[in-house]
Structure 1
Amino acid sequence: MLSKYVGLAADTCVSLRSKRVSLHTLRHSAAMELLLAGVGLSVISLWLGHESIQTIQTYLHAHLGLKEAALARVTSMDGQTGIRFQPDDKLLAFLDAL
């Protein structure tokens, strides 16, 4: 049934044609959506049937959008929001050389 509907969805979402979609993929996608909706980690961990809340930490490290949203909320010491560190060319050159 999953293959059938992934095939139908691929007609309108072409990027699905090159992806491997499994039930496990859907499980992880649902967990990420719950995170983005603000559901607590302990609730998501229980919903997924994890033995420990530490297992859910993987999701936090995996989603860059969640990190971007958190960074956007950071305020500087003078009260400005959305201020992010911008490395200079010398620092970027050093990091590229590593």
Structure 2
Amino acid sequence: MFMKEKGNKIYEIAKDTLGSSTEKLLEEMIKETIKNGDFKEEFSKDFLVRTISYLFVHFDEILYKEEDFELQRMIKNLDHYVDFMRGGLGRSE
């Protein structure tokens, strides 16, 4: 949701306060996970970084109803979101 503030003064203040950009931090986490062998080998590093970064940065655009902003529901939605990214839409065999 922080990304929605891009271009506003508060975005720059928060970014300066937090230091490293959210995108850069996420990219480093993804690269570490790739290094640990936690992703399928057929996906390139570039594909994984771009896809996962996009999915996390745009999380709020997928789950944006007012009731989705209640903390417990947000945590549950994020858990489902990660499960989706981890397993996709197909049924487990």
Q: Normalising to structure 2: TM-score of the pair?
A: 0.26
Greater relative contact order (CA < 8 Å, ≥ 6 in sequence): 2
Greater C-alpha Rg: 1
More helix by share: 2
Q: Normalising to structure 1: TM-score of the pair?
A: 0.25
